[in-house]
A and B are shown apart, each in its own frame.
Chain A
Amino acid sequence: DADVTQTPRNRITKTGKRIMLECSQTKGHDRMYWYRQDPGLGLRLIYYSFDVKDINKGEISDGYSVSRQAQAKFSLSLESAIPNQTALYFCATSEPDRTYGYTFGSGTRLTVV
């Protein structure tokens, strides 16, 4: 089945380390997004990309960077991880002008110690 895959599923890293979260999709969607989920805060948009040459900051982009390597791949990097970046991270894809909204990946649980 066409899907959205995130790696790793779980990761523990130390403060100050660089870490990359990866997302790949087989749905053929142009639009890709990175969200973080914190208890009681819902899902907040970090970055989004409407095609390989289009990268946009979301609501909470500070401390994060992204790379759209291909239509199917969108990576999120934490250049120097800090404890308050401990969260559940979701990648999502969508197709414009469709009624089925986002397809989310399975999520990456990141802990910064």
Chain B
Amino acid sequence: GENVEQHPSTLSVQEGDSAVIKCTYSDSASNYFPWYKQELGKRPQLIIDIRSNVGEKKDQRIAVTLNKTAKHFSLHITETQPEDSAVYFCAASNSGGGGADGLTFGKGTHLIIQP
């Protein structure tokens, strides 16, 4: 089955700086890569996703890049703000938003924005 590795487990950045979280996946058939943000005590929520036919996708201050050859994808957050503090999860699946086996998640990155 799919295996998703996520780094770093904790990331502390100064407010206003950029943050980058990286994930690698093992199944070359995976074609859907979402990112979820989970604030303390709340449910994970989708913030951005990318499909394998696209190399980069941007939505305001967040962007995701995908390198299918190397089987890795990254989340980039620019001009970080205090409300960006949360746990971020990457995930992968091999079909749409559901996938034959559902999404496989990374272990999460705790992003801390220092004032």
Contacts and interface: CB of A to CB of B under 8 A. Distances in A.
Contacts of B107: 40-42
Contact of B43 (A42, A94, A107): A107
A79 B41 CA distance: 27
Contact of B97 (A40, A56, A101): A101
Main SS of the interface on chain B? loop
Given A59-B1, A95-B98, A100 B43 contact: no
Contacts, number: 70
Contact of A45 (B89, B101, B108): B101
Nearest to A4: B43
A107 to B, nearest CB: 6
A27 to B, nearest CB: 12
B102 A96 contact: no
A11 B53 CA distance: 43
Interface residues of B, number: 27
B98 A50 contact: yes
A100 B102 contact: no
Given A40-B107, A102-B46, A95 B97 contact: yes
Interface string A7-26: 00000000000000000000
Contact of B49 (A40, A58, A90, A101): A101
A33 B102 contact: yes
Contacts of B42: 106
B73 interface: no
B112 interface: no
Nearest to A33: B102
B102 A48 contact: yes
Interface of B: 1, 6, 9, 32, 34, 36, 42-46, 49, 51, 89, 91, 95-98, 101-108
23 contacts: A33-B102, A40-B107, A41-B107, A42-B106, A43-B105, A45-B103, A48-B102, A56-B101, A59-B1, A95-B97, A96-B95, A96-B96, A98-B96, A100-B46, A100-B97, A101-B32, A101-B91, A101-B103, A102-B44, A102-B97, A104-B44, A106-B42, A107-B43
